[in-house]
């Protein structure tokens, strides 16, 4: 199987799975996704020389993927009809199949065409295409009545956090296992400053900066005592902080302090304890008030925050600071010898990483309009780490892709998949199988397997940064066999 | 030499910041914790019997925490990997032994003559099973990553931990008729473990001597957990210190390459460390199951972190240190449960972990571990 066929099949399998688990109008979406993946991958290497050649390749790849997606659509309809799901009908099938195929071919063609353009535009055009899809998505969603938008906003929040974690882990090489703590700090700052809880009602546009600043300050506070630590110990201390923060917000509903019988601080409710802070004010924008029932403004708000964050992060990576991070990650000793101030560099990595988590936390608090300590547990930190690793540490595109894949799998694919399996099991008539609750139980197992398999098979992630890929493959010829570890240099 | 100079330069530069961090931690302690500590001391003096009872509970907890902590320490000593999955091996040990208890029809009414040999048999089988499991994990998930950057096996271990936790969850669905209903009716809920160890008070005769005011309890349950743990700990210590294989383990821990040159089979030695650690974790799982009377699939994570804290407290890589650390963590968490609040105990333990790592990363008994970390 050559590369192009493999690309088309990869896209097709994505489309098939999506169409199979969701059914209905999602088939069109499956076509778009399958065609896009096939179009991008199928024309990646060797790149087509002209837009026309690219378009031809793209159409082919898109159609192959589209056929697979259409098989998924047909299978799903067959299952629905044969198990007599209410509302299932075979009447709309021909249109659905044709639409899936057509959209897949069109998307493949479009991306193939872009890939054939002369140099800077093959890349820029790709980004423009993806951004255009992202902007068009709410309208596609509305037109097809998919109602995915409410599920996608949290996905983007998590992608934002993964980008922040990528600064700490991917750029600076500091393994942080308690990153969700900063998310919690950002969200609770928002909760305290913009809600009836304390009666402080600052506008969202100010609070989001305060939340980011508070998270950054906590990043420095939690980072400073860990400066002399390295590698494993750093990971453990961050894990410890990551556990202490949720326990604290869970228990700080009665906070009082008395010294020698003198009550210094009366009994106050700081965090609402297990009940959390509810409600939190929603933002308003030039007179428009954000509503829970209207997801589109929220979607564009988080898209804007994400876009600005990506811009900042790219600038950071290429700045003097970003290059210092890379140097420090590769070899602390050499970096220090080259005049890099390790203390500042490390603390700034913690602070910058926490900042983006603070943004995410503030948005999350305002979007959900409530926060509970349960949302910030160790699983969240691990899930974020999983995204960064799956996509490719240190590579923004990779981290975004990893975040999208894991979050989509978690929030859309697995619930739908479990619905389907549950549905099939109900019809199977076996008592033991009937009870197993797929959605909630297999999520973490899937994460675990992802982590292990990725580490064994492809430790550099799906889209690795070039440098990282060479580091992680010991057997590559241009490196000496024995390698010092990534995160510490062994003093001889 | 040059590296040393640069190193010390960094340490010097890091010092003010680290010192500020440390001072902040100390201030935090004085401000928020000193007063409660004072109050707690007053409470302890006011009711010494309660304190003694908590110390006994702490001792029992400490015994099993030490068993788990040894698994961390053995593995870390040799491959320098924090085996995050270890806590979950312990949890699976509890599930495995619970299934065996059901399989053998053991319950509170089984006559002692049958019960004791069966308990010993289950203990042995559980230790064997978890030992094999742990060695299998090493073979499957860690061995290939031995020469990879340190982050890779650590993340792999995290992944294994999540997988095992879900295996524990799935085990709850395993309501085979052969298990005689030990898995209960709800897969996710804690499983109740039959009280196989009698809860009779050994100190009851003393009550006659000291009169009604004497309420101190030391049950057979406490004693069995402590005795079995101590026997296993001593056996392990002797094994590592006295036998030839133990010597090979220590040599591998000191310098893997040199050990290989001396003709030690390093792969086998590492497997052995995992086997031993797994066996101890399995024993701990069974003992805790009998002691607490419940098994939950989420147990592994907390127990693992506590045990890891114990290993770090004692000085990771140091066997005696892990025992001492386990004991201390057991005592501290029992006291925190009683005098602070059970809901803060985890925060206390993790806070302690952070404090140890920040102020004395080598632990109580460790010496030159900082180079390794």
Domain shared by A54 and A102, yes or no: yes
Residue numbers of the domain that contains A78: 1-118
**Confidence check on the interface: ipTM exceeds 0.90, yes or no:** no
Give pLDDT, residue A85. 65
Provide the pLDDT confidence category of residue B2 given band limits of 50, 70 and 90: low
Could you read off the pLDDT of A318-331 as tens digits, one per residue? 899 999 998 988 88
Give the percent of chain B with pLDDT over 90.
26
Q: Which residue has the higher pLDDT, A439 or B71?
A: B71
Asked whether residue A472 is assigned to any structural domain, the reply reads: no
A-contacting residues in B 8-37 (Cβ below 8 Å) = 9-11, 13-14, 17-18, 20-22, 24-25, 31-32, 35
Whether B358 has its CB under 8 Å from any CB of chain A: the answer is yes
Most confident of A67-71, A425-429, B134-138: B134-138
B18 with A224: Cβ contact below 8 A:
yes
Q: Closest residue of A to B170, CA-based?
A: A441
Most confident of A256-270, A384-398, B45-59, B230-244: B230-244
B128/chain A closest Cα distance in angstroms: 25
A316/chain B closest Cα distance in angstroms: 23
Q: How far apart are CA A151 and CA A157, in angstroms?
A: 11
SS3 for A75-139, per residue?
HHHHHHHHCCCCCCCCCCHHHHHHHHHHHHHHHHHHHHHHHCCCHHHHHHHHHHHHHHHHHHHHH
Provide the pLDDT confidence category of residue A489 given band limits of 50, 70 and 90: very low
Give pLDDT, residue A248. 85
Asked whether residue A471 is assigned to any structural domain, the reply reads: no
Q: How far apart are CA B350 and CA A248, in angstroms?
A: 12
Give pLDDT, residue A469. 62
Domain shared by A349 and A200, yes or no: yes
Cα A408 to chain centroid, rounded: 9
Give pLDDT, residue A84. 66
Domain shared by A381 and A427, yes or no: yes
Whether B155 has its CB under 8 Å from any CB of chain A: the answer is yes
Nearest to B357 among A229, A332, A482 (CB): A229
A-contacting residues in B 33-72 (Cβ below 8 Å) = 35
Asked whether residue A179 is assigned to any structural domain, the reply reads: yes
Give pLDDT, residue B373. 35
B35 with A259: Cβ contact below 8 A:
yes
Could you read off the pLDDT of A114-165 as tens digits, one per residue? 877 777 777 788 888 888 888 888 888 888 777 778 888 989 999 999 999 9
B179 and B106 in contact (C-beta within 8 Å)? no
Give pLDDT, residue B208. 75
A77/chain B closest Cα distance in angstroms: 31
Residue from B34, B144, B156, B158 to probe the interface with A (highest A Cβ count within 10 Å): B158
Domain shared by A172 and A306, yes or no: yes
Domain shared by A58 and A178, yes or no: no
Asked whether residue A487 is assigned to any structural domain, the reply reads: no
A488 with B150: Cβ contact below 8 A:
yes
What does the mean pLDDT of chain B come to? 83
Instruction: State the helix-helix crossing angle for B342-359 and B299-314, rounded to 10 degrees.
Output: 30
Domain shared by A140 and A218, yes or no: yes
Give pLDDT, residue A486. 45
Could you read off the pLDDT of B224-283 as tens digits, one per residue? 889 999 999 999 999 998 999 999 998 998 888 899 999 999 999 999 999 999 999 999
Residues of B with Cβ-Cβ distance to A384 under 8 angstroms: none
pLDDT over 70 at A238, yes or no: yes
B155/chain A closest Cα distance in angstroms: 7
A82/chain B closest Cα distance in angstroms: 29
Residues of B with Cβ-Cβ distance to A343 under 8 angstroms: 10, 13-14, 17
A-contacting residues in B 279-318 (Cβ below 8 Å) = 301, 305, 308, 312
Provide the pLDDT confidence category of residue B369 given band limits of 50, 70 and 90: very low
Give pLDDT, residue A1. 56
Nearest to B173 among A226, A435, A447 (CB): A435
B159 with A450: Cβ contact below 8 A:
yes
A236 with B24: Cβ contact below 8 A:
no
Domain shared by A154 and A222, yes or no: yes
Residue from B25, B137, B156, B159 to probe the interface with A (highest A Cβ count within 10 Å): B159
Domain shared by A93 and A168, yes or no: no
Provide the pLDDT confidence category of residue B136 given band limits of 50, 70 and 90: very high
Give pLDDT, residue A185. 92
Give the percent of chain A with pLDDT over 90.
14
Q: Which residue has the higher pLDDT, B127 or A151?
A: B127
Most confident of A66-70, A151-155, A209-213, B208-212: A209-213
Asked whether residue A492 is assigned to any structural domain, the reply reads: no
Neighbours of B355 (CB within 10 A): 18
Whether B163 has its CB under 8 Å from any CB of chain A: the answer is yes
Domain shared by A97 and A146, yes or no: no
pLDDT over 80 at A429, yes or no: no
Give pLDDT, residue B371. 42
CA atoms within 13 Å, Cβ hemisphere of A452: 23
Nearest to B82 among A232, A244, A456 (CB): A232
Could you read off the pLDDT of A255-299 as tens digits, one per residue? 766 666 666 677 777 777 777 787 887 877 777 777 777 888 889
Report the b/e string of A98-131 with b at 16+ CB within 10 A.
Answer: ebbbbbbbbbbbbbbbbbbbeeeebeebbeebee
Asked whether residue A478 is assigned to any structural domain, the reply reads: no
Provide the pLDDT confidence category of residue B9 given band limits of 50, 70 and 90: low
Q: For chain A, first and last CA: distance in Å?
A: 48
Asked whether residue A12 is assigned to any structural domain, the reply reads: yes
pLDDT over 90 at B348, yes or no: no
Average pLDDT over residues B25-50: 75
Give pLDDT, residue A478. 46
Nearest to A228 among B4, B18, B32 (CB): B18
B130 and B89 in contact (C-beta within 8 Å)? yes
B10 with A332: Cβ contact below 8 A:
yes
Provide the pLDDT confidence category of residue A435 given band limits of 50, 70 and 90: low
Give pLDDT, residue A281. 79
Could you read off the pLDDT of B157-182 as tens digits, one per residue? 988 998 998 888 888 777 777 777 77
User: Among candidates A170, A158, A156, A183, which has minimal Cα distance to A307?
Assistant: A156
Residues of A with Cβ-Cβ distance to B373 under 8 angstroms: 229-233, 488
Q: Closest residue of B to A220, CA-based?
A: B21
Domain shared by A151 and A77, yes or no: no
Domain shared by A165 and A102, yes or no: no
Establish, for the pair of chains A and B, how many residue pairs have beta carbons separated by less than 8 Å: 195
Provide the pLDDT confidence category of residue B131 given band limits of 50, 70 and 90: very high
Whether B171 has its CB under 8 Å from any CB of chain A: the answer is no
Q: Which of A71, A89, A118 is the last residue of a domain?
A: A118
Q: Which of A91, A118, A145 is the last residue of a domain?
A: A118
A487 with B150: Cβ contact below 8 A:
yes
Three-state DSSP class for residue B357:
helix
Which range among A34-43, A216-225, B10-19, B353-362 shows the weakest confidence by mean pLDDT? B10-19
Whether B373 has its CB under 8 Å from any CB of chain A: the answer is yes
Residues of B with Cβ-Cβ distance to A492 under 8 angstroms: 3
A455 with B159: Cβ contact below 8 A:
yes
Give pLDDT, residue B190. 82
pLDDT over 50 at B370, yes or no: no
User: Among candidates A85, A237, A179, A408, which has minimal Cα distance to B373?
Assistant: A237
Please give the tally of structural domains in chain A.
Answer: 2
Instruction: State the helix-helix crossing angle for A204-223 and A342-368, rounded to 10 degrees.
Output: 140
Could you read off the pLDDT of B187-214 as tens digits, one per residue? 777 888 887 887 777 777 777 777 777 7
Residue from A221, A238, A244, A484 to probe the interface with B (highest B Cβ count within 10 Å): A244
Q: Which residue has the higher pLDDT, A355 or A228?
A: A355
Average pLDDT over residues A8-23: 81
Q: Which residue has the higher pLDDT, A473 or B251?
A: B251
Could you read off the pLDDT of A35-64 as tens digits, one per residue? 888 888 777 767 777 778 888 888 888 888
Which range among B72-86, B102-116, B300-314 shows the weakest confidence by mean pLDDT? B102-116
Residue in the structure block whose two tokens are 């607490």? B292
Residue from A430, A451, A486 to probe the interface with B (highest B Cβ count within 10 Å): A451
pLDDT over 80 at A239, yes or no: yes
Q: Which of A118, A151, A182 is the last residue of a domain?
A: A118
Whether B5 has its CB under 8 Å from any CB of chain A: the answer is no
Token representation of residue A378: 């160790």
Q: How far apart are CA A355 and CA B373, in angstroms?
A: 28
Domain shared by A390 and A349, yes or no: yes
pLDDT over 60 at B289, yes or no: yes
B358/chain A closest Cα distance in angstroms: 6
What lies within 8 Å, CB to CB, of A245 at 6+ separation is A178, A181, A184, A185, A376
Read off φ and ψ for residue A263, nearest 5 degrees.
-80, 110
B308/chain A closest Cα distance in angstroms: 9
pLDDT over 50 at A92, yes or no: yes
B28/chain A closest Cα distance in angstroms: 12
B13 with A342: Cβ contact below 8 A:
yes
SS3 for chain A, per residue?
CCHHHHHHHHHHHHHHHHHHHHCCCHHHHHHHHHHHHHHHHHCCCCCCCCHHHHHHHHHHHHHHHHHHHHHHHHHHHHHHHHCCCCCCCCCCHHHHHHHHHHHHHHHHHHHHHHHCCCHHHHHHHHHHHHHHHHHHHHHHHHHHCCCCHHHHHHHHHHHHHHHHHHHHHHHCCCCCCCCHHHHHHHHHHHHHHEECCCCEECCHHHHHHHHHHHHHHHHHHHHHHHCCCCHHHHHHHHHHHHHHHHHHHHHCCCEEEEECCEEEEEEECCCCHHHCECCCCCCEECCEECCCCCHHHHHHHHHHHHHHHHHHHHHHHHCHHHHHHHHHHHCHHHHHHCCCCHHHHHHHHHHHHHHHHHHHHHHHHHHHCCECHHHHCHHHHHHHHHHHHHHCCCCHHHHHHHHHHHHHHHHHHHHHHHHHHHHHHHHHCCHHHHHCCHHHHHHHHHHHHHHHHHHHHCCCCCCCCHHHHHHHCCCCCCCCCCCCCCCCCCCC
Residues of B with Cβ-Cβ distance to A235 under 8 angstroms: 82, 154
A169/chain B closest Cα distance in angstroms: 10
Nearest to B160 among A378, A452, A483 (CB): A452
Asked whether residue A187 is assigned to any structural domain, the reply reads: yes
pLDDT over 60 at A381, yes or no: yes
Whether B145 has its CB under 8 Å from any CB of chain A: the answer is yes
pLDDT over 60 at A173, yes or no: yes
Q: Closest residue of A to B37, CA-based?
A: A259
B290 and B196 in contact (C-beta within 8 Å)? yes
């Amino acid at each position: 199987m050559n590369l192009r066929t493999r690309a088309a099949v990869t896209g097709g399998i994505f489309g098939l799975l999506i169409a199979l688990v969701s059914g209905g109008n999602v088939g069109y979406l499956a076509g778009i996704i399958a065609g896009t993946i096939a179009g991008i991958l199928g024309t990646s290497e060797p790149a087509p020389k002209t837009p026309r050649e690219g378009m031809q390749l793209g159409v082919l790849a898109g159609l192959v993927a589209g056929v697979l997606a259409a098989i998924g659509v047909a299978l799903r309809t067959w299952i629905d009809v044969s198990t007599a799901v209410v509302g299932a009908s075979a009447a709309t099938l021909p249109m659905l199949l044709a639409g899936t195929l057509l959209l897949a071919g069109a998307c493949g063609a479009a991306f193939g065409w872009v890939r054939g353009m002369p140099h800077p535009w093959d890349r820029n055009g790709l980004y423009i295409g993806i951004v255009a899809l992202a902007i068009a998505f709410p309208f596609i969603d509305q037109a097809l009545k998919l109602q995915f938008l409410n599920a996608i906003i949290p996905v983007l929040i998590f992608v934002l956090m993964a980008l922040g974690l990528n600064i700490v882990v991917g750029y600076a090489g500091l393994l942080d296992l308690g990153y969700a703590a900063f998310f919690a700090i950002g969200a609770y700052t928002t909760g305290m400053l913009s809600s009836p809880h304390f009666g402080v009602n600052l506008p969202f546009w100010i609070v989001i900066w305060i939340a980011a600043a508070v998270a950054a300050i906590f990043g420095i506070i939690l980072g400073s005592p860990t400066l002399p630590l390295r590698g494993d110990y750093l990971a453990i201390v961050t894990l410890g902080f990551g556990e202490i923060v949720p326990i604290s917000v869970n228990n700080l509903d009665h906070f009082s302090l008395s010294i020698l019988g003198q009550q210094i601080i009366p009994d106050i409710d700081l965090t609402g304890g297990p009940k959390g802070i509810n409600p939190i004010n929603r933002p308003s924008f030039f007179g428009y008030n954000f509503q829970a029932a209207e997801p589109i403004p929220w979607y564009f708000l988080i898209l804007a925050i994400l876009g600005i964050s990506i811009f900042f992060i790219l600038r950071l990576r290429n700045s003097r600071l970003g290059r210092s991070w890379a140097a420090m990650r590769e070899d602390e000793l050499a970096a220090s010898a080259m005049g890099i101030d390790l203390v500042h560099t490390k603390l700034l990595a913690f602070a910058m990483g926490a900042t983006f988590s603070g943004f995410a936390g503030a948005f999350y608090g305002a979007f959900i309009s409530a926060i509970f300590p349960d949302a910030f547990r160790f699983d969240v930190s691990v899930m974020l780490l999983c995204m960064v690793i799956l996509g490719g540490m240190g590579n923004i595109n990779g981290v975004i892709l990893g975040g999208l894949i894991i979050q989509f799998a978690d929030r859309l694919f697995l619930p739908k998949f479990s619905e389907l399996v549950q549905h099939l099991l109900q019809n199977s008539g076996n008592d033991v199988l009937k009870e197993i609750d797929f959605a909630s139980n297999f999520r973490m197992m899937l994460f675990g397997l992802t982590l292990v398999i990725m580490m064994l098979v492809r430790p550099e992630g799906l889209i690795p940064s070039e440098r990282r890929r060479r580091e992680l493959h010991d057997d590559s010829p241009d490196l000496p066999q024995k390698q010092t570890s990534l995160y510490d240099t062994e003093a001889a | 030499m040059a590296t040393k100079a640069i190193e010390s330069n960094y340490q010097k530069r890091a010092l003010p910041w680290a010192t500020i961090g440390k001072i902040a931690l100390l201030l935090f302690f004085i401000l928020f914790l000193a007063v409660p500590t004072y109050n707690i001391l007053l409470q302890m003096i006011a009711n010494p019997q309660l304190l003694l009872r908590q110390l006994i509970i702490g001792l029992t907890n400490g015994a099993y925490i030490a068993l788990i902590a040894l698994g961390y320490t053995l593995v870390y000593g040799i491959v320098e990997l924090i085996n995050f999955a270890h806590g979950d091996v312990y949890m699976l040990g509890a599930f495995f032994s619970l299934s065996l208890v059901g399989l053998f029809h053991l319950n509170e009414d089984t006559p002692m003559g049958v019960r004791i040999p069966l308990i010993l048999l289950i203990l042995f089988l559980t230790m064997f099973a978890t030992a094999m499991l742990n060695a299998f994990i090493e073979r499957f998930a860690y061995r290939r990553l031995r020469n990879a950057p340190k982050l890779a096996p650590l993340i792999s271990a995290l992944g294994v931990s999540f997988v095992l936790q879900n295996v524990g969850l799935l085990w709850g669905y395993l309501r085979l008729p052969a298990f005689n209903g030990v898995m209960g009716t709800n897969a996710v809920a804690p499983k109740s473990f039959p009280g196989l160890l009698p809860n009779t008070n050994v100190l009851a005769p003393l009550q006659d001597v000291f009169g009604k005011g004497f309420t101190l309890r030391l049950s057979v349950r406490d004693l069995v957990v402590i005795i079995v743990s101590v026997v296993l700990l001593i056996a392990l210590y002797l094994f590592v210190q006295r036998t030839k294989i133990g010597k090979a383990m220590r040599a591998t821990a000191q310098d893997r390459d040199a050990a290989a040159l001396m003709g030690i089979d390093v792969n086998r030695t590492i497997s052995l460390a995992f086997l031993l650690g797994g066996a101890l974790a399995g024993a701990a799982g069974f003992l805790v199951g009998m002691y607490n009377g419940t098994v939950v699939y989420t147990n592994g994570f907390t127990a693992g972190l506590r045990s890891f804290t114990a290993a770090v407290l004692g000085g990771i890589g140091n066997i005696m240190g892990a025992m001492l650390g386990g004991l201390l963590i057991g005592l501290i968490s029992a006291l925190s449960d009683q005098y602070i609040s059970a809901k803060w105990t985890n925060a206390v333990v993790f806070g302690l972990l952070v404090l140890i790592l920040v102020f004395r990363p080598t632990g109580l008994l460790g010496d030159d571990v900082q180079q390794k970390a």
